[in-house]
Amino acid sequence: MQYMLLIYHSESNWDKLSDAERGKIYADYIEFSKNITASGHYKGGNRLDFSSTATTVRVRDGKRQSTDGPFAETKEQLGGYYIVEAKDLDEAIALAARIPGARYGSIEVRPIPLMTAAA
Amino acid sequence: MDIEQIYHEESGRILATLIRLLGDFDLAEEAMQEAFALAVEQWPKQGVPGNPRAWLVSTARNRAVDGLRRRISFEKKQDELQRLIEARSALASQDEAMIDGDPMSDDRLRLIFTCCHPALRVEAQVALTLRTLCGLTTEAIAKAFIAPVPTMAQRIVRAKQKIRDARIPYRVPPMEDLQERLTAVMLVVYLVFNEGYSAASGEALIRRDLCAEGIRLGRLLCELLPKEMEARGLLALMLLHDSRRDTRVTENGEIVLLEEQDRSRWNQESIREGTTLAEATLRTSPGPYSVQAAIAAVHANAARAEDTDWRQIAALYDILRRLQPTPVVELNRAVAVAMAEGPLAGLRLLDEIEAKEELNGYYLLPAARADFLRRLNRWTDSATAYRQALALVSNEAERRFLERRLAEAEGKSGVGPSL
């Protein structure tokens, strides 16, 4: 079963880090990605740009509306994600706990439901 | 053995096995009911099978699998078909293991860890445990927790959905996670017990049944995990509390303090069992439930209130506060010290607790102060503290108790009721 691990962190705290501290975190992420690729869990993932670059789009009555900023203003912002293959929630939680961001932000674990093929 | 007795003793275990085999809570429940219905019809004519549990499990499983197969061929659901195939291949090898007596293979142990998984809300863990392991109906659970039936039904349905959709595993956690997960399981068991224990007399009997369910779950944990001493401590604690359940409140719902309870009505059998268990846990390195059980055992074994070994209780609270450094434990320790060394020593500890400001708004803090002052005959100060406690208390029985004590203090201090 696949799970999406959504990585939330405080962008304002990130801004306050030194280059050396950021470099360490990047290195941790590279290491983690390498490890879960080798173990066969990795199915995909990316870092996302800051929420200040986000645009939220809605279509109402056939009209497109675009607004500046993320869908919801929150204390911690979505900063990236992994998609992993895990045999159950416990394994997904164990993977999430190893993400470097879990130590200073939060990881939301969401199952990706299997789509039954449309007939 | 008649069917009713088998239902009472075995349905929890049968349901747990069916959930494992079928991978679906609702399907398992339905199938079990069908199997029992069939047993009611067939057993009187054909006789009770040699192994009733095995008969019920295989009958229920066959019916469920047949039903699933019909539905699947109709809807062509590939993933369900896959699950069915897996279930059937598991069956062949499970028949033997299913009947054996090894407690680690007992499916109820898997079930309890699934129901008490930390990915579920605690209220949902409690409800699901009562529904599946204790076999309580949703209506009974709602009544016990004074919640509307639809709310409780929704809580249980959502928990089952999350177990299925997020794939919460159905297994005993691996060794490295066992302690943490067991702590969560024991908390649920204790919550079930306490919900019944805190119910005043006169409230629906079903609430008090929760005490029995808590103890039943506690026994199950001890049986399934015989090496876990803290599980025995939890069982001991529940038994010892339960031994004086009937003497805690009067028929009118008035609280009776420990020192004023009729000790001849305490349940000696529960006290003996609880004390033996508590003593055994103290020989290892006891956890918080075991230490609390030991404290309860000291109380339970004092023939009269004045015989209570308060020094031992104060020493046990000293151990407990190192395991569980919470302000409530500190407060209880202060009460024990006040009994062992006198109210002045207790007041000094209360001052320290108050200085930390963690218990602001907790009525038992001024209530304890009021009691210490009462015992020092400082009636005016005592009355002031009782008034503070009354402003904070929410439980009706406790409010009436404090009002009685306030009236006494006001009488002795010569101050008329001014409220």
What pLDDT is attached to residue B419? 47
Q: Calculate the dihedral angle through the C-alpha atoms of B319, B320, B323, B325, rounding to the nearest 10 degrees.
A: -110
Domain that holds residue A55: 2-112
Measure B166 CA to nearest chain A CA, in Å: 5
* Cβ <8 Å between A88 and B167: yes
Q: Are residues B10 and B30 in the same domain?
A: yes
Tokens of A90: 């416990």
For B390, phi then psi, to 5°, come to: -65, -30
Q: Are residues B122 and B186 in the same domain?
A: yes
Domain that holds residue B168: 102-227
A75 part of a folded domain: yes
> Tell me, what CATH number does A22's domain have?
3.30.70.1060
What pLDDT is attached to residue B65? 87
Number of structural domains found in chain B: 4
Q: Which residues are A77's β-sheet partners?
A: A9
- pLDDT tens per residue, chain B (419 residues)? 688 888 888 888 899 999 988 888 889 999 999 999 999 999 999 999 989 999 999 999 999 988 877 776 666 666 666 666 666 555 545 554 544 444 446 788 889 999 999 999 999 999 999 999 888 889 988 888 888 999 999 999 999 999 999 999 988 888 888 888 999 999 999 989 988 887 654 555 667 788 998 999 999 999 888 999 999 999 999 999 999 988 888 877 777 888 899 999 999 999 999 999 999 999 988 999 999 999 999 999 999 999 999 999 999 999 999 999 998 899 999 999 999 999 999 999 999 999 988 888 889 999 999 999 999 999 999 999 999 999 998 878 788 889 999 999 999 887 555 44
A10 part of a folded domain: yes
Number of structural domains found in chain A: 1
Chain B residues whose beta carbon lies within 8 Å of the beta carbon of residue A87: 167, 169
Question: What angle in degrees, to the nearest 10, is found between the helix axes of B3-22 and B107-115?
Answer: 70
Tokens of B216: 């039943």
Q: What is the mean pLDDT of chain A?
A: 93
Give the percent of chain A with pLDDT over 70: 96
Q: Is the pTM of this model over 0.90?
A: no
* Cβ <8 Å between A89 and B78: no
> Tell me, what CATH number does B47's domain have?
1.10.1740
Tell me the three state secondary structure of residue A16. helix
B258/B218 Cα distance (integer angstroms)? 24
What pLDDT is attached to residue B259? 87
What pLDDT is attached to residue B175? 83
A117 part of a folded domain: no
A89 part of a folded domain: yes
* Cβ <8 Å between B168 and A90: yes
A118 part of a folded domain: no
Smallest Cβ distance to B166: which of A89, A116, A117? A89
Chain A residues whose beta carbon lies within 8 Å of the beta carbon of residue B177: 90
Q: In what order do the strands lie in the sheet with A106-112?
A: A42-47, A77-85, A2-9, A106-112
B416 part of a folded domain: yes
What pLDDT is attached to residue B99? 45
Amino acid at B56: L
Chain A touched by B74 (CB under 8 Å): no
Q: Which residues of A touch B (CB under 8 A)?
A: 1, 87-90, 93, 109, 111, 113-114, 116-117, 119
Among B275, B271, B242, B244, CA closest to B260:
B244
For residue A112, give the chain B residue with the closest CA.
Answer: B166
What would the 3-class secondary structure string for chain B be?
CCHHHHHHHHHHHHHHHHHHHHCCHHHHHHHHHHHHHHHHHHHHHHCCCCCHHHHHHHHHHHHHHHHHHHHHHHHCCHHHHHHHHHHHHHHHHHHHHHHCCCHHHCHHHHHHHHHCCCCCCHHHHHHHHHHHCCCCCHHHHHHHCCCCHHHHHHHHHHHHHHHHHCCCCCCCCCHHHHHHHHHHHHHHHHHHHHHHHCCCCCCCHHHHHHHHHHHHHHHHHHHHCCCCHHHHHHHHHHHHHHHCHHHCECCCCCECCHHHCCHHHCCHHHHHHHHHHHHHHHCCCCCHHHHHHHHHHHHHCCCCHHHCCHHHHHHHHHHHHHHCCCHHHHHHHHHHHHHHHCHHHHHHHHHHHHHHCCCCCCCHHHHHHHHHHHHCCCHHHHHHHHHHHHHHCCCHHHHHHHHHHHHHHHHHHCCCCCC
CB hemisphere CA count around A30 (13 angstroms) = 6
Chain B residues whose beta carbon lies within 8 Å of the beta carbon of residue A88: 167-169
Chain A touched by B169 (CB under 8 Å): yes
What pLDDT is attached to residue B321? 95
ipTM at complex level: 0.85
Cβ-based burial of A82 (10 A; exposed 0-12, middle 13-18, buried ≥19): buried
A43/B61 Cα distance (integer angstroms)? 36
* Cβ <8 Å between B169 and A88: yes
Mean pLDDT of A79-84: 97
Chain B residues whose beta carbon lies within 8 Å of the beta carbon of residue A1: 167
What pLDDT is attached to residue B107? 86
Smallest Cβ distance to A89: which of B76, B79, B169? B169
**Please, are residues B259 and B305 in contact by the beta-carbon 8 Å criterion?**
yes
A63/B256 Cα distance (integer angstroms)? 70
Residues 121-160 of B with CB under 8 A from A: none
Please state whether beta strands A77-85 and A55-60 pair in parallel, antiparallel, or not at all (unpaired). Answer: unpaired
B273 part of a folded domain: no
Helix, strand, coil tally for chain A in percent (to 5): 35, 35, 30
Q: Are residues B69 and B95 in the same domain?
A: yes
C-alpha B405: how far from chain center? 31
Chain A residues whose beta carbon lies within 8 Å of the beta carbon of residue B76: 119
Pick among B77, B167, B171, B180 to test the A interface (most A CBs inside 10 A): B167
Q: Are residues B9 and B41 in the same domain?
A: yes
**Please, are residues B220 and B112 in contact by the beta-carbon 8 Å criterion?**
yes
pLDDT at A118 over 90: no
> Quick count: other Cβ atoms within 10 Å of Cβ B283?
8
Q: Which residues are A81's β-sheet partners?
A: A6, A46
State which of B48, B70, B100 marks the end of a domain. B100
